[in-house]
């Protein structure tokens, strides 16, 4: 029995209440869905702590957003809460975690998973079934549910998420966003009391992200406790989390209501709503604008040419329909569109990983059907959506050296290329680390660096911002545009603000066809088109369109803060 102090927050005011009665610790813990006290963890073979002295509590029906730079410890905290640490990830763990009143240190992973369902950053690591329906059933089967109840829960959950039509699809043929929805369905079907989501929006198109956030708000309103680890802070703020927790270098720097966020957050590190950034950046020096690639030579042949390209997978699903487009020197192209639209399939045709069933693709005047992937790699470097599809080497340095070696670069050039690529993506000090032991965001940056070190003429990146904090991806995009070897850059993204800030050309892909192709200020002002293609205007897009008469170009929020208002 002991005397307790309760601390509560009302907006930005802290109230301290002394209790006069004594309360048993177990009774205190039972009042919370989750109670974390003095939690620290150090991974095996690492000298520094990944997280240090973290304490937090969540009541039933609570919604907590955890944000912070890539590699700050957010995923480590999530692994501690869902039991993967110390059961799957070994190291030194101190402190305690109580879930629904029970100390999790003595519980099995299976028992913890019944209490808290987890959706991982990378759905590739979570999906085991070959068909969608079997994947959603997997957890229920392992928990011993009867067949009728499994069928009922699958139907109910897939209908709830709007993915019933995916039931018989092979999981390997799904887009990244579709895989994310299937992973969520598998967790929700088990009806946990709590939900832990690690970067749930990373692979989702804007409309799906909006729908997912609305779903999570509904689950919270129905009494579920939800903890979201997410870089896309603006999207989560729209569903009114009770509190926000900011982390930096493994420690909590802020834990409180949204109202106190402005005074606690660095807008360079965390992407905030445009109006909030505008206000915070007004007193700072104006940032430089992104470098542009060299202009296209008038009359020059296109670097890549698609002519009436059609493609379908072996299962008969038609993915591309009569696609015709050219990629020119100087293009910085954002490819936007809903999940499953064919964006990644389109990119894989450019690099020769897929060959068209009809039509032709030329790279520098040669048909890809006559070229090997290795030959095309001299011209096009491709960063896969999922890091697990690329990473294999025992160290970051060896991973980055692999491509240049295979392209026949000289040893002294490889050293320089690897060093520069590491600096661009902010991985200095991690050269000897195994890539697959890094955080998801760091893994993604390794895959980008691996392609940068190859010095191809055209860079193609699939979801480059997945798992990245705002500062990291702005820094590496700024640096990439300054590299002299790139003649064109393409990036597939669900982040419309990436297109606003960096693209000089936007392609919108929907149902396997290119439905719009033009300058960002022309394509993105068509809100009817965006809605049809499941693209949601952002606060930065709204602000740029509002100020376009004065700026005559799209700009980042930090730069807009220094544009003089209309007199």
User: In the structure, what pLDDT confidence band is assigned to residue 294 with cuts at 50, 70 and 90?
Assistant: low
Q: What does the pLDDT read at residue 13?
A: 37
Q: What does the pLDDT read at residue 323?
A: 97
Q: How many residues does the chain have?
A: 567
Q: What does the pLDDT read at residue 21?
A: 37
**94, HSE (Cβ side, Cα atoms, 13 Å):** 8
Determine whether 147 is exposed, middle or buried from the number of CB atoms within 10 Å of its CB (0-12, 13-18, 19+): exposed
Q: Which stretch of 47-56, 149-158, 439-448 has the lowest confidence by average pLDDT? A: 439-448
Q: Give the best-scoring range by mean pLDDT among 76-90, 374-388, 468-482.
A: 76-90
Rounded mean pLDDT of 333-348? Answer: 94
Q: What does the pLDDT read at residue 199?
A: 85
Q: What does the pLDDT read at residue 301?
A: 85
> Left, alpha or beta for 340 (phi > 0: left; psi -120 to 50: alpha)?
left
Q: What does the pLDDT read at residue 298?
A: 52
Write phi, then psi, for 548 (nearest 5 degrees): -65, -35
User: In the structure, what pLDDT confidence band is assigned to residue 29 with cuts at 50, 70 and 90?
Assistant: low
Q: Among all chains, which residue has been given the structure tokens 């590496």?
A: 476
429-447 pLDDT, tens digit per residue, is: 999 999 988 888 889 999 9
- In the predicted model, is pLDDT for residue 17 greater than 70? no
Rounded mean pLDDT of 155-176? Answer: 88
510-555 pLDDT, tens digit per residue, is: 999 999 999 999 999 999 999 999 999 999 999 999 999 999 999 9
- In the predicted model, is pLDDT for residue 44 greater than 80? yes
Q: What does the pLDDT read at residue 424?
A: 93
Q: What does the pLDDT read at residue 567?
A: 39
Rounded mean pLDDT of 469-496? Answer: 90
Q: What does the pLDDT read at residue 373?
A: 87
The more confident residue out of 339 and 493 is 493
Percent of the chain having pLDDT more than 90? Answer: 63
- Are 523 and 500 in contact, with CB atoms under 8 Å apart? no
Rounded mean pLDDT of 323-344? Answer: 94
The answer for residues whose C-beta is within 8 angstroms of residue 39's C-beta and 6 or more apart is 51, 53, 54, 55, 77, 80, 93, 94, 95, 96, 97
Decide the pairing of beta strands 243-248 and 63-67: parallel
Rounded to the nearest 10 degrees, the angle between the axes of helix 440-452 and helix 470-482 is: 0
- In the predicted model, is pLDDT for residue 177 greater than 80? no
- In the predicted model, is pLDDT for residue 194 greater than 90? yes
232-271 pLDDT, tens digit per residue, is: 898 999 999 999 999 999 999 999 999 988 888 888 888 8
Determine whether 537 is exposed, middle or buried from the number of CB atoms within 10 Å of its CB (0-12, 13-18, 19+): middle
Q: What does the pLDDT read at residue 11?
A: 38
56-76 pLDDT, tens digit per residue, is: 999 999 999 999 988 889 989
> Where do the domains of the chain lie, and which CATH numbers do they carry?
30-261 (3.40.50.300), 304-379+456-533 (3.40.50.300), 387-454 (no CATH)
The answer for residues whose C-beta is within 8 angstroms of residue 189's C-beta and 6 or more apart is 136, 137, 139, 140, 153, 154, 156, 157
Rounded to the nearest 10 degrees, the angle between the axes of helix 411-424 and helix 396-406 is: 130
Nearest to 557 by CA among 543, 538, 546, 536: 543
3-class secondary structure, 400:
helix
Q: What does the pLDDT read at residue 19?
A: 36
């Amino acid at each position: 029995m002991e005397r307790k102090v309760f601390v509560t927050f009302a907006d930005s005011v802290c109230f301290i209440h002394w209790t006069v009665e004594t309360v048993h610790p177990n009774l205190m813990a039972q009042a919370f869905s989750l109670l974390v006290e003095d939690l620290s963890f150090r991974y095996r073979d690492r000298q520094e702590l990944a997280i240090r002295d973290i304490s937090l509590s969540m009541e039933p029906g609570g919604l907590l957003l955890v944000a912070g730079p890539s590699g700050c410890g957010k995923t480590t905290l999530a692994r501690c809460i869902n039991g993967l640490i110390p059961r799957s990830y070994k190291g030194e763990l101190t402190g305690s975690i109580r879930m629904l009143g029970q100390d999790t240190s003595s519980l099995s992973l299976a028992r913890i998973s019944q209490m808290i369902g987890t959706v991982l950053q990378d759905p590739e690591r979570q999906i085991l079934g070959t068909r969608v329906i079997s994947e959603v059933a997997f957890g229920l089967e392992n928990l011993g549910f009867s067949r009728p109840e499994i069928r009922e829960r699958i139907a109910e959950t897939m209908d709830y998420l709007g993915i019933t039509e995916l039931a018989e699809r092979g999981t390997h043929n799904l887009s990244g966003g579709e895989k994310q929805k299937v992973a969520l369905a598998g967790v929700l079907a088990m009806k946990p009391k709590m939900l832990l989501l690690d970067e749930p929006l990373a692979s989702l198109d804007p409309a799906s992200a909006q729908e997912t956030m609305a779903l999570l708000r509904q689950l919270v309103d129905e009494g579920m406790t939800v903890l979201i680890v997410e870089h896309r802070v603006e999207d989560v703020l729209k569903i009114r989390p009770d509190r926000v927790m900011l982390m930096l270098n493994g420690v909590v720097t802020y834990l409180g209501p949204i109202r106190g966020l402005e005074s606690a957050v660095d807008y360079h590190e965390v992407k905030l709503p445009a109006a909030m950034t505008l206000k915070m950046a007004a007193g700072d020096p104006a940032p430089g604008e992104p470098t542009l690639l060299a202009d296209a030579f008038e009359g020059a042949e296109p670097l890549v040419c698609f002519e009436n390209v059609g493609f379908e997978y072996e299962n008969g699903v038609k993915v591309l329909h009569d696609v015709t487009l050219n990629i020119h020197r100087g293009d910085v192209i954002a490819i936007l569109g809903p999940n499953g639209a064919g964006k990644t399939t389109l990119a894989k045709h450019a690099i020769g990983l897929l060959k068209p069933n009809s039509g032709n693709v030329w790279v520098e005047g040669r048909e890809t059907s006559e070229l090997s992937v290795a030959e095309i790699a001299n011209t096009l470097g491709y960063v896969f959506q999922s890091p697990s599809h690329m990473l294999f080497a025992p160290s970051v340095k060896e991973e980055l050296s692999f491509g240049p070696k295979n392209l026949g670069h000289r040893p002294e050039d490889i050293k320089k290329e690897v060093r520069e690529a590491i600096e661009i993506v902010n991985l200095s000090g991690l050269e000897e680390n195994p890539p697959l032991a890094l955080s998801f965001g760091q893994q993604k940056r390794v895959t980008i660096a691996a392609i940068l070190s190859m010095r191809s003429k055209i860079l193609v990146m699939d979801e480059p911002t997945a798992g990245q904090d705002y500062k990291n991806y702005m820094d590496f995009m700024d640096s990439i545009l300054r590299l002299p070897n790139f003649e064109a850059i393409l990036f597939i993204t669900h982040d419309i603000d990436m297109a606003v800030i960096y693209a000089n050309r936007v392609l919108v892909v929907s149902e396997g066809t290119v439905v719009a192709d033009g300058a960002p200020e022309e394509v993105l002002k068509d809100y009817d088109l965006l809605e049809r293609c499941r693209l949601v205007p952002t606060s930065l897009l709204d602000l740029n369109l509002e100020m376009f008469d004065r700026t005559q170009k799209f700009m980042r929020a930090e730069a807009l803060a220094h544009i003089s208002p209309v007199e």
